[in-house]
Structure 1
Amino acid sequence: MMRLHPRVRLLWSLRAVVAATVVGALAAVLDRFVLEQGLWLPVAVFLAVLFFGVTVALLRYRYWRYEVRDDSLYLERGVFTRVRTVVPFVRIQHVDSSRSPVERLAGLATTVVYTAGSRGADVTIPGLSASGSDDLQERIKRLAIRAEGDDAV
């Protein structure tokens, strides 16, 4: 089983910091104009959201795994609800590798696997190194082409 790049923990934790800042600012505005409890309420809200967000980010990294098997891509993820996904290579339509500006700063990338299907027809593998994402994209592409030949009539 493969794990995501450890740097993805930093990105997910930074998202938690941004969310905590926004929620803390909203709590400060609410407190200033409605509740009038003092500075402790927005600070407590900020710290609670920050703690929860960073904890979820670290647990998310801990439980995120994937494996490229002979005939399928297997993913295991989820903090509160564990999700196990098996994507047969014969169902794969195409594979993308993307890098957002934040991912580029961190040296990370995301691989997206698009499948034939009606429900949630794509699978995303975040937090890969840039070269790892490109390698995974190429490997899945080759295995999908081979599987298509095996499945042909």
Structure 2
Amino acid sequence: MESLNPRVRLAWLLGAFVPGAIIVGVGVVAVRIGAPVPLAAAVGVATLVVALGLVAAVYRYRVWRFEVRDDSLYIVRGVFTRVDTSVPYVRVQHVDTRRGPLERTLGLASVVVYTAGSRGADITIPGLTPTRAGELRERLRELATESEFDAV
């Protein structure tokens, strides 16, 4: 099974700081408006949230794997709840690559697989190099097209 590019860990680690910054910001605002909330409590909670986010990012990288099989895309992910997903190519509607600002800065891209079915049935494979993401997108598109013709 294929793992993600190691640089995705940095994106996930940076993402762990966002909730902590929000908590500290709320604590500062609360102190400014005179609420009886000590700023030290907000900083303590923020530190705990960031620490848990950092640990989760490390474990998330260790678990995340995917494999392009003959009949489906297979993905294993999840820190607390392990999720094994098998996406049959016949269910694939279309495939995109996505590069947000942080991904572009880190030289990464994601592949998004849109599937037939319920709303929110999209699968995202993060942490790929742009070249690998393009190759994977095209390979999945080819496999989806082939399976469409096989199903008819």
CA distance in 2, matches of 1:105, 1:134: 18
The 1:36/1:140 distance shift into structure 2, 3 A limit, reads: closer
CA distance in 2, matches of 1:43, 1:122: 36
Moved more, 17-26 or 68-77: 17-26
Paired position in structure 1 for 2:108: 108
Deviation at 1:43? 2.5
Alpha-carbon RMSD across the aligned residues, in angstroms, is: 1.6
Q: Deviations over 1:68-127 (max 9, x none)?
A: 001100011111221111111111111101111111111000101111112532111111
Deviation at 1:61? 1.3
Deviation at 1:24? 1.7
Paired position in structure 2 for 1:24: 24
Paired position in structure 2 for 1:135: 135
Paired position in structure 1 for 2:150: 150
Q: Deviations over 1:7-61 (max 9, x none)?
A: 1111111111122111122123335522253x53232122111101111111111
Percent identical pairs in the alignment equals 52
CA distance in 2, matches of 1:35, 1:6: 43
1:50 alignment partner AA: V
Q: Tell me the matched-pair count.
A: 151
CA distance in 2, matches of 1:19, 1:43: 12
User: TM-score if structure 2 supplies the norm length?
Assistant: 0.91
Tell me, yes or no, if structure 1 residue 126 matches structure 2 residue 123.
no
Paired position in structure 1 for 2:84: 84
Structure 2 residues without counterparts, runs of 5 or longer: none
User: TM-score if structure 1 supplies the norm length?
Assistant: 0.90
1:73 alignment partner AA: L
Aligned partner of residue 110 in structure 1, secondary structure: strand
- The question of whether the paired residues in 2 share the 8 Å contact of 1:4 and 1:128 is answered with yes
Moved over 3 A (4+): none
Paired position in structure 1 for 2:36: 35
Paired position in structure 2 for 1:14: 14
- The question of whether the paired residues in 2 share the 8 Å contact of 1:28 and 1:41 is answered with no
